[in-house]
Amino acid sequence: MNNSLDILTVLKHDYTLVILFCCSILSIVFIIERWIYFRTAAADRCDDILARVRKYLEAGQAQQAKDYCQKQPSVVAQVVAYGLACAGQTRRDMEDLLATKRLEERMKLERFLAVLGTLGNIAPFIGLFGTVVGIIDAFQELALAGTGGPAVVAKGIAEALVATAGGLVVAIPAVIFYNYFMRRVKAASTEMEVASTRLVVMLGAK
């Protein structure tokens, strides 16, 4: 009988690997979804959008400026469009309204990121739990058999360590992309704040 490690057999008998497999699917789905979203939502820079808006405003085309921003998918454009819709408010009111809009857009940017970060944090612990349980089973089998020596224990431990490796395989990409997306969120948040401040000055709110 072949004593080599059979991954499929381990997967069949180790429920923690099934859990980790489900976690990996969720992680991949959220990574792809956020990647696609960030390509459009955090694509445009505030300087480019404000330059176009300034041209419309200088030409007396405020409605066209708002329509242009509303058609853009980026969060910066949505904040500027909201600011243009609030034109005529006092400076303090505009700043407060734009702050609420930035929070709203940031929530959209951070959607699913908490789940991705959680998967990155718990996956190693799930794998470690599976390893501990597997080692316990290996020693119990050795105690019941009474024979077999270190070879039996070594095979059981090797199978148990697959769970730890699986946890790391799930966690590492999740953590990497979580940190990447959070950096994009911070960059987009800064762009929104800069755009808000410049827009208030541009509109000459008192």
Q: Which domain holds residue 134?
A: 7-203
Q: What is the pTM of this model?
A: 0.82
Determine the pLDDT at residue 60: 86
Kindly give, in sequence order, each residue whose CB lies less than 8 Å from that of residue 125, ignoring residues fewer than 6 positions away: 167
Tell me which of 17 and 175 has the higher pLDDT.
175
2 lies in some domain: no
**pLDDT at residue 172 tops 70:** yes
Long-range contacts of the stretch 46-49 (C-beta < 8 A, 24+): 46/76, 46/80, 46/191, 46/192, 46/194, 46/195, 46/198, 49/74, 49/76, 49/77, 49/80, 49/195
Determine the pLDDT at residue 47: 85
107 lies in some domain: yes
Mean pLDDT score, 175-182 = 96
Asked if 46 and 54 count as a contact pair (C-beta separation under 8 A), the reply is no
Distance from chain centroid for Cα 161:
28
| 77 confidence band (pLDDT: 50, 70, 90) | very high
Percent of the chain exceeding pLDDT 90 equals 45
116 lies in some domain: yes
User: How many domains are there within the chain?
Assistant: 1
Determine the pLDDT at residue 150: 67
Q: What is the Cα–Cα distance from 191 to 81, expressed in whole angstroms?
A: 14
Distance from chain centroid for Cα 29:
10
198 lies in some domain: yes
| 154 confidence band (pLDDT: 50, 70, 90) | confident
Angle between helices 15-41 and 113-145 (to 10 degrees): 160
pLDDT digits 0-9 by tens, 78-87: 999 999 988 8
74 lies in some domain: yes
Q: What is the Cα–Cα distance from 102 to 108, expressed in whole angstroms?
A: 10
| 145 confidence band (pLDDT: 50, 70, 90) | low
DSSP 80-139: HHHHHHTTTS-HHHHHHHHHHHHHHHHHHHTTTHHHHHHHHHHHHHHHHHHHHHHHHHHH
